[in-house]
Amino acid sequence: MQKITDHWLFFLERQGRLAALLLLAAFLSQGCASLVLPPLVGPVVKNLNRQSDLELVCDGAPSYLLLLDSLLVSKPDDTRLLLHGAQAYTAYASLMPECGRPERAAVLGERARAYGLRLLDTHKDLAGAEQMPLAGFSDALASVGPGEVEKLFWGGYSWATWIGFSKGAPAAVADLPRVEQLMLRVLALDEGFYHGGAHLFLGIYHGSRPVLLGGRPEVSRSHFERALALGKRRFLPTLVAYAEYYARQTFDRELYVRLLEEALAFDLSLAPDLTLPNVLARRRAQKMLAKVEDVF
């Protein structure tokens, strides 16, 4: 058993192919698979983030998602599997427009949210988070400690992904204050988590609405600037979102162009673990720059 495990671990590290993980499931007995597969799920998530070939990810990721779904049927409360499920479905939903299937984003976003909520449910005080009154939800979050930051962030981020693809459905928009509370708690516990991701969310949250509808552009800007500092300007989605949700809203063409050009000029080899999100961000930046005359 140990020899088989070592062989496939080496193969996965060298090849990074989703097919290898599926072959492993086929060759091992159910008992061995339950011991070996969960520890291998995390490395596959990391490998996906290192991919620059979007076509490969578009074609190959569904096999990984099906594998995750199958594992979670037998281990429905496994925190690590739920975390990987929320991460993977969130990423793949966001990828759908680039894969040429934008209509699938909402469906995958719903699955991301489902796993994210189940992830939050694993903390006793956050069970049933989507049904809690907002005041009670805020009180429950106050009891969550630093060891749960990963859970809070990905639970909130997957929830926000579903909201983003819901096309303004009232039930989804009504959940935004809960996601805001999750991200504020992440800031209180570890503001640098995931390249300042909570600041990125709050920058979008406060910048996406006009002032007359409750937007707070200067609060938005401060969150974007802090996210860039924490991420050392290596996480390109922050640059692109800063341009789209702050510079565009405030009609700051100079800042808009400068942020997008910075994203396009970034050397991807400087952040190999962020290759996939950075490639997507650069594609978005290129499209936005091409339409700058229509925006300003």
Q: What is the value of pTM for the model shown?
A: 0.84
Q: How far is CA 150 from CA 8, 18, 37, 81, 283, in A?
A: 28, 25, 21, 13, 28
CATH number for the region 191-296 comes to 1.25.40.920
Average pLDDT rounded to a whole number, residues 202-210: 93
Q: How far is CA 90 from CA 25, 36, 174, 292, in A?
A: 24, 25, 20, 29
**Each residue's pLDDT tens digit, 32-51:** 434 444 455 556 666 777 88
**Each residue's pLDDT tens digit, 207-265:** 998 888 888 999 999 999 999 999 999 999 999 999 999 999 999 999 999 999 999 99
Domain assignments of the chain as residue spans, ordered by start: 191-296
What confidence category does residue 24 fall into, taking pLDDT thresholds of 50, 70 and 90? Answer: very low
**Each residue's pLDDT tens digit, 101-127:** 999 999 999 999 999 999 999 999 999
